[in-house]
Every structure is written in structure tokens, then in C-alpha cells.
Amino acid sequence: MPKVTEAHVEARKAQILGAACICVANKGFHHTTMQDICQEAGLSPGAVYGYFSSKEDIIRSLAEEGLRKQDEVFGALQRERDAPRALLRFAETVIELLDCPVPAGESQEGDPHRLRVLLWAEAIRSPEILEIVRAHYLRGRAALEEIVRRGLAGGEVRPGVAARAVAQLVLSMIDGFVLQKAVDPDLDGRRYVEGLRMLLDGTWWTVADERDQHGNL
Amino acid sequence: MPKVTEAHVEARKAQILGAACICVANKGFHHTTMQDICQEAGLSPGAVYGYFSSKEDIIRSLAEEGLRKQDEVFGALQRERDAPRALLRFAETVIELLDCPVPAGESQEGDPHRLRVLLWAEAIRSPEILEIVRAHYLRGRAALEEIVRRGLAGGEVRPGVAARAVAQLVLSMIDGFVLQKAVDPDLDGRRYVEGLRMLLDGTWWTVADERDQHGNL
């Protein structure tokens, strides 16, 4: 029954990675030990070491999972031929993923916003974590830049717009959401996405003609 | 000579706060001691305690200085009557402030991007720091919302646009810059601001008419 076995392996790995998230959010990367992770996962050290050789191995897997999810989102966007629409879809999809409610009973410390903010801070002090965070960032930025360049070639993006700056700003809108959600759990993801949609559509402001009309009302 | 004395007090305080920034960036908030700060500042404990009663007092002063600078920026915007222009000016001003090069000889660990990311992470674990970060965030958000509401009343902002979402997105563009600058020191602040200006001006994309024209070329 290889299918059952594979599902079992995946479930165990997810269990260990989930436990690692909670430990790291509570104690930080440096202070989390393999023992902490075993305890949080409710597994023996032997069981955990059967799947991961070290704490570093677990952190690498967490980062790889993040990259895999990001690549999936970009893969789905390949079918979207209009560049402005593809960027909007990217930002909306990622923010909706990030805004998912924390499953009942899970520690608040383990939620994705808080964990991500801790990961950023860890990157300031650990060259190894910095490399993981930077790789994730550069890969996402490159994929968004590629979408903008396609739009420049296709004429949907105005000549003179810097592809890199667009990529950076779209990523900022996602990172800013993560940060504000971590500081203010009441943040309404749907309203945020709605504002983002209007910003990218260029419909935040009225045009000058409409303003005059309004002034005459 | 009260003026000389006042200048001296301010210079000493700035020296101590600067040293605290470097210590905190290197060791984190919890692990920084008053002794570390004295050593970094090159001052005796007696000299430091003459200005600040505790480490918490120093951190509070750092946070208050941040709030004061933010209030100054908002104060300057009161004269700008057009809401879209005021939001753009706000974002540009803050990003230019944040993008200032680190003074020669200063530790890279003490630069404002890295320190701010550490502060966010600290807010995840310390209720006291969370309150400081949250107060800063809520005050900034409220000031931006007020600008958007003025724009809604004046007709420059399209009816139906959520003032809060606009405030959140503008703050995201600043926080995202801080984060990306911390991970990628090569980030070009001027290009970022230029992209932001075009985004807020609604000139990232060509309009449908222009696209058709382009298609016909």
C-alpha cells in the first residue's frame, strides 16, 4: 500500500513542521531545540529524527514549503495574459491565503503573520536565515518583474514604468498586510484586498473632470 | 548659559539613544542591559542614569522620538489640501527619510531598517513593546484616514473607497520598503518612490484606448 504510506509520511512531516512553527514563534529560532519540537508534536525523538536530521533541516523544509506555495501561485498566473490583472490576482491570492483564520485550538503564537515577522527579524541576525528569506524575496520579485516586462512588451504597462519598482511595491502590499495583521488581529483582509483592487485599477481618485462636476453639484 | 546646557543635554540623550539602537540591534531587546548601553555610548553608568532611569525608559524615549517625527510629517501635510497629493507626499517624505544612508563609521546593525524589523518582532513577544508599536501604527493610520475622509468630502476620492484600506495600503508601502531594504541593502529608494508616485497617480497602466492604439502600430 504505497499510497497509504506516502500519505502517512506527509501527515507526520506536516505535524512536525506545524509543531516547529509554534516552538519558533514562542522561543525564537536560536532557543528552539529538537526536544521542544518533539514535545510540541507529541512524538518521540526517534520518530522526529526519522523524518528530519536536525533543527536546521526542519527550518529548511519550512522555507522550502513557503517557496513551493509561492511557485504554485506564480504557476497559476502563467495563464493570465494581461499583466495588470496578473499582478492584482497575485496580490489578492496571497493575501487571501495569509488571511485564513487560525484553526480552532491552535496557539495564536503559531499563526502565519507572527511567524513571518519573527522570520524577518531572525534574518537580521542569522546569515543562514537571511539567505533563505532573501532567496524567497528575490524569486518572488523576479517572477513579478517578468510579468511587468511582459506587460511592457504587450503595451498594457506604460513605457518608463520600472518593472523592479512595480514588483517591490506589490510585494510591499503583501508584507505590509502581514505586519499589520500581526500588530492588529482585527485587520479585515477583505476590505484590504478591495482597497488594493481599486488602487491597482487606478480608481482610488476621481479624475479632474469628475471633481469639477462634483464641485458644481 | 541655559542654552548651552540644553544643547548639551540633548546631545547626551541622542548619544545614549544611538548607543541603545546599536545594542538592541545586536543583542535584541531582552538581552540588552544598561551596562551594554553605557559601554556602547562610552559613558559611565552615573552619566547614563542622569538622563534615563532604566532600560525601559530608554526604549520609551526611542518610541516617543519615532512618534514625534511622524507627527511632524503629518503636521507639514496639513497645508496640502488635495488628498491624493497629501498621501503621496506623506509616503515620499517618510521613505526618503528612511532611505538616508547610514552615517560613515556607524555599525550596519544600527541602521533604521534593521532596527525597525527587530522592533516588530519584539512586539510579537513583549506586550509592552506591542503597545508602543500598536500606538504608533494606530496614530499613523488615523492621520491617513483623516486625509482620505477629507478627500471623500472634497470629491477627490471616489465614493465607496474605504478610508481605512487606503491608510493601510499607504502604510504597507512604507513598511514593505523598510523590510526589503533590510533584506536587500542595494534597494534603490529613489526608483521605489518613483514607482510609488506612478502607482498613486494611476499611471502604471496604459488605458484601454492607448492599448488598442498600441496594438494597431
- DSSP letters, A130-191, are HHHHHHHHHHHHHHHHHHHHHHHHHTSBPTT--HHHHHHHHHHHHHHHHHHHHH-TT--HHH
Which range (A81-95, A180-194, B1-15, B150-164) has the least confidence? Answer: B1-15
pLDDT at A79: 77
Which range (B17-21, B32-36, B118-122) has the least confidence? Answer: B118-122
pLDDT at A100: 65
* Rounded Cα distance, A130 and A124, in Å: 7
Band (B135; pLDDT cuts 50, 70, 90): confident
- Name the more confident of A175 and B96: A175
Band (A69; pLDDT cuts 50, 70, 90): confident
pLDDT greater than 60 at residue A111: yes
* Rounded Cα distance, B14 and B189, in Å: 26
* Rounded Cα distance, B20 and B25, in Å: 8
- Name the more confident of A71 and B210: A71
Q: How many CB atoms lie within 10 A of CB A207?
A: 13
Band (B214; pLDDT cuts 50, 70, 90): low
Q: Nearest by CB to A156, from B161, B173, B211: name it.
A: B211
Partner-chain contact B171 A176, CB within 8 Å = yes
* Rounded Cα distance, A5 and B118, in Å: 42
Mean pLDDT, chain B, whole residue set? 84
pLDDT at A214: 55
- Say which amino acid occupies B118: L
Which residue on chain B is closest to A136 by alpha carbon? Answer: B183
pLDDT greater than 50 at residue A105: no
Mean pLDDT, chain A, whole residue set? 84
Percent of chain B with pLDDT over 90: 41
Residue A205: strand pairing partners: B157
pLDDT at A104: 43
Q: Nearest by CB to A205, from B121, B157, B196: name it.
A: B157
Percent of chain A with pLDDT over 70: 89
* Rounded Cα distance, B167 and A33, in Å: 40
* Rounded Cα distance, A71 and B104, in Å: 40
Which range (A15-19, A191-195, B21-25) has the least confidence? Answer: B21-25
Tell me if residue A76 falls in helix, strand or coil. helix
* Rounded Cα distance, B92 and A168, in Å: 15
Cell triple for B193 = 518612490
Cell triple for B122 = 519584539
Partner-chain contact A171 B176, CB within 8 Å = yes
pLDDT greater than 80 at residue A166: yes
Residue B157: strand pairing partners: A205
- Average pLDDT, integer, range B129-144: 89
pLDDT at A216: 46
- Average pLDDT, integer, range A71-98: 86
Question: What ipTM goes with this model?
Answer: 0.84
pTM score of the predicted model: 0.85
What is the per-residue pLDDT across B26-68, written as a single tens digit (0 to 9) for each? Answer: 777 778 899 999 999 999 999 999 999 998 888 878 877 777 7
Partner-chain contact A121 B123, CB within 8 Å = no
- Name the more confident of B144 and A98: B144
Query: Considering only CA atoms, which of A86, A182, A11, A67 is closest in space to residue B134?
Result: A182
Please report the number of interchain residue pairs, chain A to chain B, with beta-carbon separation below 8 angstroms.
Answer: 188
Which range (A143-157, B38-52, B109-123) has the least confidence? Answer: B109-123
Q: Nearest by CB to B117, from A120, A171, A198: name it.
A: A120
pLDDT at B143: 92
pLDDT greater than 80 at residue A217: no
Cell triple for B202 = 494611476
- Name the more confident of B81 and B41: B41
Position of cell 497629501? B86
Which range (A182-191, B24-33, B81-90, B175-184) has the least confidence? Answer: B24-33
* Rounded Cα distance, A123 and B184, in Å: 11
- Name the more confident of B150 and A109: B150
* Rounded Cα distance, A10 and A184, in Å: 33
Band (A182; pLDDT cuts 50, 70, 90): confident
Query: Which one of A92, A109, A118, A183 makes the best mutation probe of the B interface by having the most chain B beta carbons within 10 Å?
Result: A183
* Rounded Cα distance, A178 and A183, in Å: 9
* Rounded Cα distance, A105 and A103, in Å: 6
Q: Report the alpha-carbon angle B67-A114-B24, nearest 5.
A: 50
